[in-house]
Each structure stands twice: as structure tokens, then as C-alpha cells.
Structure 1
Amino acid sequence: MTMIANLLVGLVAALHLYILVLEMFLWTKPLGRKVFRLEPDFAEASKVLAANQGLYNGFLATGLAWGLLAGKLDVQLFFLGCVVVAGVYGAATVGKKILFVQALPAAVAMAAVLAA
């Protein structure tokens, strides 16, 4: 069970690393605009805000990687909890898709960590 929990935590970390890349470096590029369904003018006007969001996603990914590499379950649970809260807030304020893309995987990983 520990291997499954570690895999799930790693996948959540990888997801947030991917989001970092999308928000910090690809926001105004075709892939970033496609993923977030952005008009070119809006993407350009909001790129600094998106980079800031990307940085925070990087902190989440780094915290999860730290928890994994150090074998610290409390650190893993803390950062997974942060992802769940961010996902629930994003679902309530931006779109329900965020609940399934961000919060649900983190909640599943959290359950796996607790079960392991």
C-alpha cells in the first residue's frame, strides 16, 4: 500500500509541476491558451498573475516531493491538504472541473497515505 500511496503523491506533485509550466511559461502560447481556454488578449493581460499562480503550484509540487523523498507522511498530508483546499476553492470560484482535476486526485492520494 505504501508504494501505491507514494505513486499517487508523486502523480499529484507531477500534476502541479505541469501546472507550473503551463502557468509560468506557456500561458500565452497555444498550448496554455488551449488548456485554460483563453483568448490571446486576456492571456497577454493576465500573464503576470498566471506566473504568480504557477509559482504557488511549484511550491505545492516541491512540498510533495520533499515529503516523498524525506519519507515524511505529515509533510505529504499537509501539502495534499493544501491542494484539496485550493481545488475546492478553485471549483467554487472558477469552475467545477478543478474539483476533479486538482482536489479529487489529492484527496485520493491523501486517503492512500493515511491507509498506508
Structure 2
Amino acid sequence: MVTIGMILAGLLGILHIVIAYLEMFAKPEVQANAFDMDLDFVKQSGAQLALKNQGIYNAALGVLFLLGFVMFTAHAQVVFFELLSLFVVVVGLYGGATVTKKIYLIQALPGAVTLLLLFL
């Protein structure tokens, strides 16, 4: 099960890099659709700044997941991915409660499944 959890950890890293791309570089129409936000709101400069700021955090998280494969080995690697996965679950739960319910499915659930498999 840990091997599957490790694979999912890598996929979580890729997922967060994709989310970062959407937040930082996608057109406002794509952002509004992806994040269930009003297009007029997303086009505002303050909303764009906030999305880009959030994007850099998701990019850093994605890179950390991927760096975990080369920075750590054995048990330390599993613990590192458990901590990052727990972080994803907490942030996903908060985002699902405050932004859009879609985040529960896209972020919190994959993080929880990964965390569970890493503990087994």
C-alpha cells in the first residue's frame, strides 16, 4: 500500500503544479470556470493578484512533493509525504468550506487517500 501511496504523492505534486498554473497563468475565463468564481470578479486586478499569490504556494507544494523523491529515502520519505499529504487535506477542507465544494473532491480527497495509503 505504501508504494501506491508514494505514486499518489507524486501525482499530488503534479496536481498542485497544474493548480498553480491555473491560478497564475490561465485566462480569467478558465480560472472562473475552474474555481467556480464569477468572471467579473476574477477579472479584477485584486482577484488576479490573490490568485497568483495562491498559485505560488501551490507551485511550492507541488515542487516539494516532487523533490521528496530525490531528497529523502526510505522511512524519511514516507514521513515527509505523510506530512505534506496532511497539509493538503487540511487546506483542501478549508478551501472546500470557504471557496467551492469542488475542492473537497479535487484536493482534500486525493490528499486523504494518499495519507491513508502511506500509513498502511
Tell me the TM-score range normalised by the shorter chain. Answer: 0.7 to 0.9
Partner of 1:51: 52
Q: Which runs of 5+ in 2 are unaligned?
A: none
Code of the residue aligned with 1:35 in structure 2: it is A
Number of residue pairs matched by the alignment: 114
Aligned counterparts of 1:82 and 1:67: Cα–Cα separation in 2: 15
1:36 is matched with: 35
Give the partner amino acid of 1:3: T
User: Per-residue displacement from partner, 1:66-111 (whole Å, max 9, x unpaired)?
Assistant: 2233331221111111110000111111122211110110111111
Q: Structure 1 stretches of 5 or more lacking a match? A: none
Match of 1:73 among 67, 78, 100: 78
- Matched residue type, 1:68: F
Distance in 2 between residues matched to 1:95 and 1:35, nearest whole Å: 10
Work out whether 1:111 is the aligned partner of 2:83. no
Runs in 1 of length 4+ with deviation above 3 angstroms?
Answer: 37-40
Please report the RMSD computed on the Cα atoms of aligned residues, expressed in angstroms. Answer: 1.6
Q: Distance in 2 between matches of 1:108 and 1:64?
A: 15
